Amino acid sequence: MSSDANNERTLSAAERHLLTLVRSGDADGWRQFVDRYEKRLLAFAVARVDQNATAQDLVQETFVGFLQNMNRFEERSSVESFLFRILRRRVVDLYRSRGKAESLRACEIGDDVEHVCINEVPSTDATASQYARDEEQCLAQQNALCHGIEVVTREMREAEKFRDLSIVEAIFYAGLRNRQIAELMTLPANDIAVVKHRFIQRLQRQIQSTGSIGSAVPSETPRVNADLAAAWEFNRPTCPKRSTLGRYMLAILPSSWQGFVDFHVETLGCRYCLANLSEMQNASEPQPRDDRLFQSTIGFLKRESG
């Protein structure tokens, strides 16, 4: 089952090839890059804002943001997840500019989980050296947490513990409370608490076994929920690969895996996977080539790679 996960740190050969071309300033490589990700990003944006033109502007800003920050992309997550994070921030900024004090959850259902976005942790210390040390320590904690989540969720998937996996992603990815999950899955509330407790314990052991900072997951507190929510959305370890989503659309996955993906997509409403599905469902419809986004961003490619 591990081959069906979207939590592999290593990039695909296609992603690496495109990144090499883009970083070298290759125009055709940038065109391929835009073609590869544009429609799924647009599907995400269209579902979040009221006008298609606004959604297109946000996607354009996302590609420009990628070019301006591609040196910060450390390949600790997929290119798609990196692009979605940029787009998500653009959508939230749009909300704020319109006076909306709302965040953007990863899933259609669930409560907002207030957390500091990974790689966006401000320092209150006045000295540059202390800032650097604080940032380095914070990044180390985040890396340990992300890796620990990857390992533990992969173990659960390979052991086909899909019920437990659904519970922990409902808690930490969708932000649902134990009672809400119990009602949603028709399970005793105590079962939800037990699964959460075991997951955090296993995560603690995994982080400590690698010699990382064990305090990254100190105990079951609201702060831990927030930290795990940030790390979960950073890597999206339980989001299926596009190939898996394709088999899900055709209903040809093994029943247990089909049920988990259905819960992830239809019940929790993962907005990133829904955007992928929307693109895939419309892929069979012939559409004329639209180079406007490529043309509007090619100048930034030359500027950033020059």
In tens digits, the chain (306 residues) has pLDDT values of 444 555 445 678 888 899 999 999 999 999 999 999 999 999 999 999 978 899 999 999 999 999 998 888 877 778 999 999 999 999 999 988 888 766 688 999 875 444 434 344 333 333 434 333 444 556 677 788 888 999 999 999 999 999 999 999 999 999 999 999 999 999 999 999 999 999 999 998 998 887 755 445 555 555 667 788 888 988 899 999 999 999 999 999 999 999 999 999 999 999 999 999 999 998 766 666 678 888 889 888 877 766
Q: Number of folded domains in the chain?
A: 2
Q: Specify whether 125 is located in the same domain as 99.
A: no
**Residue 212: predicted pLDDT:** 57
User: Which among 223, 234, 166 has a CA at the least distance from the CA of 196?
Assistant: 166
User: Which among 81, 63, 152 has a CA at the least distance from the CA of 119?
Assistant: 81
**Distance between CA atoms of residues 61 and 53, nearest Å:** 12
In a domain, 253, yes or no: no
In a domain, 279, yes or no: no
Phi, psi of 107 (to 5 degrees): -120, 160
Please list the helix, strand and coil fractions of the chain in percent, rounded to the nearest 5, in that order: 70, 0, 30
**Residue 119: predicted pLDDT:** 42
**What is the residue whose two structure tokens read 């070019």?**
67
In a domain, 246, yes or no: no
Last-in-domain residue among 176, 209, 237: 237
Phi-psi region of 99 (alpha: psi -120 to 50; beta: other; left: phi over 0): left
In a domain, 99, yes or no: yes
User: Which among 176, 165, 170 has a CA at the least distance from the CA of 199?
Assistant: 165
Q: Specify whether 100 is located in the same domain as 133.
A: no
**Distance between CA atoms of residues 136 and 129, nearest Å:** 11
Q: Specify whether 147 is located in the same domain as 29.
A: no
In a domain, 127, yes or no: yes
In a domain, 252, yes or no: no
**Residue 24: predicted pLDDT:** 92
Q: Specify whether 58 is located in the same domain as 98.
A: yes
Residue 84 lies in domain? 9-106+290-306
Q: Specify whether 85 is located in the same domain as 126.
A: no
Q: Specify whether 231 is located in the same domain as 151.
A: yes
Q: Specify whether 101 is located in the same domain as 86.
A: yes
**Distance between CA atoms of residues 5 and 155, nearest Å:** 11
Q: Specify whether 158 is located in the same domain as 45.
A: no
**Which residues, at least 6 apart from 136, have a Cβ–Cβ distance to it below 8 Å?**
none
Phi-psi region of 177 (alpha: psi -120 to 50; beta: other; left: phi over 0): beta
Last-in-domain residue among 193, 219, 237: 237
Q: Specify whether 124 is located in the same domain as 223.
A: yes
Q: Specify whether 82 is located in the same domain as 48.
A: yes
Q: Specify whether 86 is located in the same domain as 118.
A: no
CATH number of the domain to which 67 belongs: 1.10.1740
In a domain, 247, yes or no: no
In a domain, 262, yes or no: no
**Residue 194: predicted pLDDT:** 96
Question: With 0-12 CB in 10 A as exposed, 13-18 as middle and 19+ as buried, what is 243?
Answer: exposed
Q: Specify whether 114 is located in the same domain as 96.
A: no
